[in-house]
Amino acid sequence: MIGYLQGRPLRFARDGFILLVQGVGYDLNCSAQTLMSLEGKTFVEVWVYTHVREDALQLFAFATELEKSMFLALLKVNGIGPKSALNVVSGAPTQKIVDWIEDSNVAALTGLPKVGKKSAEQIILSLQGKLVRAEDGSASARFKARAQIVSALVNLGFRASEVEKVVEHMPPETDLEQGLRQGLSALTT
């Protein structure tokens, strides 16, 4: 799986761009937030999610690990696929979306591109209490740590669904090192 790329952006489109990495052009789907952050740059680094289906292989790129973490959290919501999750993270900064979920703000979530009332309610129901709000408006360290734990364990070859169940039961203050130890212990017994 591809998890990270760096290179030269070539051709931008409304919903993505092509990234040239050592002579290979990767067609990356990305959010409006990521596209804005890449504007005018000649060399970029992006975090990547590889989505594999029977009939398609798609790459989704994110300017920050936090945005990728939000995207991955949204994929766990019933009825939300990669394109829908991308629409959500395109609509507002990640921390604002976290705040809306924690505040049960259905109206704000329905203001995001292609998010109806039913989807907004499902997002809140599935994710409320699982995302940690940042006190100072910056990216939440605990939210990032949980996402890093999940990512590391999945990259070690464990199934994402099993990893999620294990990480869900970890205390919110668990840091990356503790989480990896606890996760490896739980997943290998």
User: Tens digits of per-residue pLDDT, 19-28?
Assistant: 999 999 999 9
92 within some domain = yes
Which of 15, 36, 62 lies at the terminal end of a domain, its last residue? 62
The SS3 assignment for 97 reads: helix
Question: From CA 79, how far away is CA 52, in angstroms rounded?
Answer: 17
Instruction: Check pLDDT > 50 for residue 139.
Output: no
Structural domain of residue 161, as residue ranges?
Answer: 141-187
Predicted confidence at residue 43, as pLDDT, reads 94
Long-range own/partner contacts, residues 161-169 (CB < 8 A, 24 or more apart) = 162/187, 163/187, 164/76, 168/130
Predicted confidence at residue 156, as pLDDT, reads 83
Predicted confidence at residue 136, as pLDDT, reads 43
Pairing type for strands 24-30 and 57-62 reads parallel
133 within some domain = no
From residue 143, alpha-carbon distances to 13, 38, 44, 66, 70 in Å are: 30, 24, 24, 8, 9
122 lies in the same domain as 72: yes
Q: Sorting pLDDT into bands at 50, 70 and 90, what band is 71?
A: very high
Which of 127, 149, 177 lies at the terminal end of a domain, its last residue? 127
Question: Domain holding 97: CATH number?
Answer: 1.10.150.20
pTM as predicted: 0.69
Q: Summarize the confidence of residues 159-172 as an average pLDDT.
A: 81
Question: Domain holding 21: CATH number?
Answer: 2.40.50.140
Which of 62, 82, 109 lies at the terminal end of a domain, its last residue? 62
Q: Sorting pLDDT into bands at 50, 70 and 90, what band is 154?
A: confident
Instruction: Check pLDDT > 70 for residue 161.
Output: yes
Reported as a single tens digit per residue, the pLDDT across 121-135 is: 999 988 887 775 544
